[in-house]
Amino acid sequence: MSVPDLIVVLFLLIVVYDCYYFIIFLYQSFKAPAIEYSPRSSVIIPVYNNESTIGLCVQAVLDSDYLLEEVIVVNDGSTDRTHDILQNLTGITVYSIPHSGKAAALNYGIAHSRGDVVTLDADTTVRKDTIRMLVRNLQLYDAVAGNLQVFNARTFLGRCQAIEHVRVAMFRKVAQYFDDVDIVPGPIGAFKREVFSKVIYGSSMVEDMELTRNLKREGFTVGYEQEAKAYTQMPDKWIPFVRQRFRWAKGNLHLLLEGNAPVRKFLMGYGLSSADIVLVILCFLYGQYLVLALFLGFESVTMIIGTYREKATLFVESLFFPVFMLFLDSIFLLSHFVGFFSILCLHRS
């Protein structure tokens, strides 16, 4: 088989794969579950040095249209003005603990709460209906992932991560179809209280993924709610962005090496990211510009439709999605390569 023929085959494989999952996404996005369920719910917010966002986060929760059992903020040894800001807020319960990390703060808050649990990060805000939309799914599932989006989409990195989160939301709808939602994100998730009699947040660098894997191992069910939207702040400077990606990669690899993550998903992620990059490189090297244009156009069109179905306002970012996609593919592969190398060196030493 000649290289041009190989390029066409690779292109067709990518398109068929993406079309298959895109059709499932469309099917899922048109489903409107009619669920009426209002459990007693406690919101847990761990906070560490988030003086610029904690006030907005708490106020958004208090403005919710859902009657909450309690709002608990666990101050994880903050050294900035977080403590003073919390003292001036009403309608919440504040616990202060020595700095022990996010997982410990979450576990402390859960242990001191009374209702089903909603977790929220201190740099995240919710809409009025987010909590109501989220917790109603506890009638069907033991844990529910919310729809996490990015609100600081001004720089290249911000826009890149904003459209990435829309893409993640699309794939989470697909995962729900296969009953395979693999993470309840820390910034927005809900849990039946009884799950914490079996599992707690651990010390992993990706504590939310570790918790979700442990939940599923214990036989608990995990769902997803597209309409439960929360908006978080992501790194918009290069050094914090790179550090976050390497932390995620090392955390995921640790779970993989401990047998707490499926090898199949890792291999699929590496394969898909590599296929996108290889196809573009081969198209340039062998002058297959029509195939390249078709590939880029296909990715843009599906993303524009997905953005519309997700009710996001990122249509410019959707149009240029292939650029962001290739950048993220490269970062994903690089961060996992470096993460694996660093873990290998650590074990050898």
For the segment 102-129, what is each residue's pLDDT rounded down to a tens digit? 999 999 999 999 999 999 999 999 999 9
48 — pLDDT class (breaks 50, 70, 90):
very high
pLDDT value, residue 4: 85
Q: Are 189 and 118 in contact (CB under 8 A)?
A: yes
349 — pLDDT class (breaks 50, 70, 90):
low
CATH architecture type of domain 39-234: Alpha-Beta Complex (3.90)
Average pLDDT, the chain: 94
Q: What is d(CA 207, CA 250) in angstroms, rounded to the nearest whole number? A: 12
- Sheet of 93-97, strand order: 93-97, 70-76, 41-47, 116-120, 188-191, 143-150, 222-232, 124-126
Choose the weakest-confidence range: 40-54, 186-200, 254-268.
Answer: 254-268
pLDDT value, residue 161: 96
Residue 180's contacts (CB-CB under 8 Å, 6 or more residues apart) are none
Nearest to 43 by CA among 66, 61, 64: 61
340 — pLDDT class (breaks 50, 70, 90):
confident
Q: Which burial class, exposed, middle or buried, applies to 258 when counting CB atoms under 10 A from its CB (0-12, 13-18, 19+)?
A: exposed
User: Does position 9 have pLDDT exceeding 70, yes or no?
Assistant: yes
Nearest to 82 by CA among 63, 60, 102, 58: 58
Helix (H, G, I), strand (E, B) or coil at 330: helix
pLDDT value, residue 219: 95
pLDDT value, residue 73: 98
190 — pLDDT class (breaks 50, 70, 90):
very high
Q: What distance lies between CA 328 and its chain's CA centroid? A: 14
For the segment 288-318, what is each residue's pLDDT rounded down to a tens digit? 999 999 999 999 999 999 999 998 989 999 9
Dump the DSSP string for 100-154.
--HHHHHHHHHHT--SEEEEE-TTEEE-TTHHHHHHGGGGT-SEEEEEEEES---
347 — pLDDT class (breaks 50, 70, 90):
low
Where are the extended beta strands (E) located within the chain? 41-47, 70-76, 93-97, 116-120, 124-126, 143-150, 188-191, 222-232
45 — pLDDT class (breaks 50, 70, 90):
very high
CA angle 73, 77, 78 (to 5 degrees): 80
Question: In the structure, how many helices (H) and strands (E) does the chain have?
Answer: 12, 8
58 — pLDDT class (breaks 50, 70, 90):
very high
Fill in the amino acid letter for 240.
P
For the segment 11-30, what is each residue's pLDDT rounded down to a tens digit? 999 999 999 999 999 999 88
Two tokens at 62?
A: 């208090």
pLDDT value, residue 77: 96
For the segment 227-260, what is each residue's pLDDT rounded down to a tens digit? 999 999 999 999 999 999 999 999 999 888 888 8
